[in-house]
Amino acid sequence: MNANEVTEIFGIPANRAKGVRWSRVAQRQWCPYLDRKCLKNRKSRPEVSIGTCIVQYGKDRKHLLICPFRLLERKQVFTDCFQLLTLHEPGNELHVVPELSVPGGSVDYVLASVRGGKVRDFVGVELQTLDSTGTVWPARQRFLSEKGVKVLAEDLASRKSFGMNWKMTAKTILVQLHHKIETFEHIGKHLTLVVQDYLLHYMRSQFSFAHLTSARIGDPMQIHAYQLKDDGNAYHLELIERLSTDTNGIAACLGLQASPKVDLELIVAQLEQKLSSNTLFSIAAAPPPPSRGISGE
């Protein structure tokens, strides 16, 4: 049996869930973490969503997250950032605002404390999962075929497989953080990177991470690592480690320097323009998605 397999599709455990109408799942293409149609589309057929959230990979059969929106389960990544809103007060509203532009790119989400339509405090939240190489599509199609869903014969005949782009994923996110964290430090705010524990372990092994400490509220750069727990029926995320550092600490990981600084007023103005009833934080409601690109196949 191929060790590289799809283990969660459209938020449903591939070989655990009972009584699933997989033909309906494949047709609906629904992402439960965004509460909308999956945004991970095929390049050759943009109307078709790939829907792969988790894959099983390698000889040790690790379960790896390959979709950043999979990290939005139960919105726990946001509640785990509440303590970083040091100016938040009882009575303030909490908003989850997608895609804040900063020097060097954009931040996936901003958790903001708001009162009377005015932003009192905020923390940036970056989501990062592993990028795959090759194609996951044949593995997805093989699984659906086994569940009685009609798929193209050419997909079943394909010998193409997929790999994990550990090095490029890790280096890319560190470079991006280096461009963004000085801005957050300059304005006295926090930026949180959310990753799976396997990715953090790899980053530790390949880059200089010895100077990072257990999370301290005074550090602008926070790293939250989540473990994918298997309860026998489904997979659930659990925060297992928090680290922190500052601008110099991220620079030390790469040996680079930069100076992306903007004024606090500009970021606050941008945030307040995005506030709406749709961004109001709710455990029941999915956060609006940023327009980040997700690689297709």
Contacts 24+ apart (CB under 8 A), 58-63: 58/3, 58/4, 58/164, 59/3, 61/3, 62/198, 63/7, 63/228, 63/230, 63/235
| Same domain, residue pair 89 and 24 | no
Q: What is the C-alpha to C-alpha distance for residues 176 and 191, in angstroms, rounded to an integer? A: 12
Residue 22, phi then psi, degrees to nearest 5: -65, -30
Q: Are both 5 and 146 inside the same structural domain?
A: yes
Kindly state whether residue 34 falls inside one of the protein's structural domains: yes
pLDDT one-digit tens code per residue, 98-154 = 999 987 679 999 999 999 999 999 999 999 999 998 899 999 999 999 999 999 899
Q: Report the number of distinct structural domains present in the chain.
A: 2
Based on the fold, state whether residues 275 and 225 are members of the same structural domain. Answer: yes
Domain identity same for 148 and 92: no
| pLDDT for the residue numbered 195 | 98
The parent domain of residue 250 ranges over 71-128+165-284
Determine, yes or no, domain membership for 84: yes
Does residue 57 share a domain with residue 106? Answer: no
Same domain, yes or no, for 93 and 149?
Answer: no
- Clarify whether residues 108 and 192 are in a common domain: yes
Domain shared by 205 and 264, yes or no: yes
pLDDT band with cut points at 50, 70 and 90 for residue 4: confident
pLDDT digits (tens, 9 = 90+) for 165-199: 998 899 889 988 988 998 999 999 999 999 999 99
* pLDDT at 260 exceeding the cut of 70: no
Query: How many angstroms separate the CA atoms of 3 and 51, rounded?
Result: 19
Task: Please check whether residues 34 and 149 belong to one and the same domain.
Answer: yes
2 and 60 in a single domain? The answer is: yes
Q: Say what the pLDDT of residue 16 is.
A: 77
DSSP per residue, 89-130: -TT-EEEEEEEEEETTEEEEEEEEEEETTEEEEEEEEEE--P
3-state secondary structure of 291: coil
Statement to judge: residues 60 and 39 lie in one domain = yes
Out of 108, 143, 163, a domain closes at 163
- pLDDT > 80? residue 162: yes
> Model pTM?
0.86
Residue 270 included in any domain:
yes
Q: Are residues 257 and 118 part of one domain?
A: yes
